[in-house]
Amino acid sequence: MLRRVFPHPILSLTLVIVWLMLVNKVTPGNLFLGVVFGIVIPVMTAPYWPNRPALRAPLMAAEYALVVLWDIIVANFEVAAIVLFKRHDKIRSQWVVVPLELRSPEAITVLAGTITMTPGTVSATLAADGGSLLVHALDTDDPDAVRDEIKTRYERRLMEIFR
Amino acid sequence: MDQDLSLLAELLVAFFLVVGGFFALVGSIGLIRLKDTMQRLHAPTKATTVGVGGALISSMLYFLLIENQLSFHELLITLFLFLTAPITANFIAKTYMQDKIRRKDLPESGREYGWALYDHPPEMTDESK
Amino acid sequence: MIVTYALIFAFACFGFGLLSTMWRMLVGPTQADRILALDTMVINFIALIVLYGIWQGTALYFEASMLIAMVGFVSTVALCRFVLRGDIIE
């Protein structure tokens, strides 16, 4: 019964919070409307989400978000240095193939997004069976090191979050 | 005392404005200066996103600390931009690859199937889901 | 006072960003470059609107910038899909 009213509890909570942030004022009326949206929208969109991604370790997810945020800041300076000061015939861009151990589509989406947001790498495409990821690195001498860093720093954490 | 605090607030707002402007500048220079389309994809998707993030955070701090009104809209816009930037980057990369990059220019996928841009995915069975 | 100078600096940076996107859109050379330039243009534009909001000291412009962010994302995706598949909604 509870499953039918709240097919995605986290989505419902997110919708309520986002609605309150959108109207920018917490009043009983706004809260009520937010709760209505939080119940109606997940029920209506439930057919599009046949299997719910299981978020088993919320603390790990928070740690992951902080690590990614820190990496974005640090690596932005590196890219700034490359863009501003490196002669462009010295910039060595390479394709890097990252074999994936992750299997769930949600986890792979998060990994690809993370790779794109951390400067210096952009995820370009996926193998047709979802087994490996093609990454474009802006400037690197050692594609294997890029691959290993992605695997140890992000994929290992995601494996534990989306077990 | 109060004067010091407002000075500190102004410094904080100004700091984020300058950082945001700097990264936006880096992104634009990258967009002009880099040689190859895939390289150019790197500069704006990240530097500009962080630049806008800086501008939005400084706006939030400005309204919170100087005008004394709390606003979450900036946070929402920042989150939205950070969530959508990877998706647009991925779409643009795919557009470019389909247009200009042939299969032999890329490394092997190391799997039975090639890259999804050129190869059809295997039939989905219940087992593989 | 400091905020005013910082604002002018940021205005100059994002304005230069808009000009660079325009240049990249005219020069190309590939379609992907032009789409990338359009996307970056929208992002720079959002920042300029937010900065104008600080300049005027009003929170009126956030709805506008949020709507532009959403429309910009959807139009970039639609444009890419059109180039990729020749069709937007299959």
- Domain parsing of chain C, residue ranges: 2-85
The interface predicted TM-score (ipTM) is 0.82
- On chain A, the residues whose CB falls within 8 A of the CB of B94 are 124-125
Q: Is residue C62's pLDDT more than 70?
A: yes
* Distance, CA of B52 to chain centre: 9
Chain C residue numbers with beta carbons less than 8 Å from the beta carbon of B51 are 13-14, 17, 47
Domain ranges of chain A: 2-48, 58-161
| Chain C residues close to B36, C-beta within 8 Å | none
Asked if B80 lies within 8 A of C65 by C-beta distance, the reply is no
Which of C8, C11, C13 is the best substitution to test chain B (most B C-beta atoms within 10 A)? C13
> For position B63, what pLDDT does the model report?
83
Most confidently modeled of A41-55, B1-15, B102-116, C65-79? C65-79
Reading across the β-sheet that carries A94-99, which strands appear in turn? A94-99, A132-137, A121-126
Residue-level pLDDT at A6: 67
Residue among A117, A121, A139, A144 with most chain B CBs within 10 A, to mutate: A117
Length of chain C: 90
pLDDT at B127 (0 to 100): 46
Residue B64 CB-half CA count within 13 A? 15
| Global pTM value | 0.84
How much is the average pLDDT of A43-62?
74
Asked if omega into C29 is within 30° of 0 (cis), the reply is yes
Residues 28-67 of C with CB under 8 A from B: 30-33, 35-37, 39-40, 43-44, 46-47, 50-51, 53-54, 57, 59, 62-63, 65-66
Residue A17 makes CB contacts below 8 A (sequence gap 6+) with: A34
The predicted pLDDT at position B128 comes to: 44
CA distances from B76 to A107, A109, C42, C55, C72 (A): 23, 21, 17, 21, 15
Quote the crossing angle between the two packed helices C31-56 and B73-100, to the nearest 10°. Answer: 170
Mean pLDDT, residues A98-112: 81
pLDDT over 70 at B2, yes or no? no
Question: How many alpha carbons fall within 13 Å on the CB side of residue C64?
Answer: 13
Structural element, H or E, at residue C53: helix C31-56
**φ and ψ at residue B119, rounded to 5 degrees:** -110, 150
Per-residue burial over C11-40, b = 16 or more CB atoms within 10 Å of its CB, e = otherwise: bebbbbbbebbeebbeeeeebbbbbbbbbb
CATH number for the domain whose boundaries are C2-85: 1.10.287
For chain B, the domains span: 2-105
Q: Distance from CA of residue A107 to its chain's centroid?
A: 8
CATH classification number, A58-161, choose in 1.10.20, 3.30.70, 1.10.3470, 1.10.10: 3.30.70
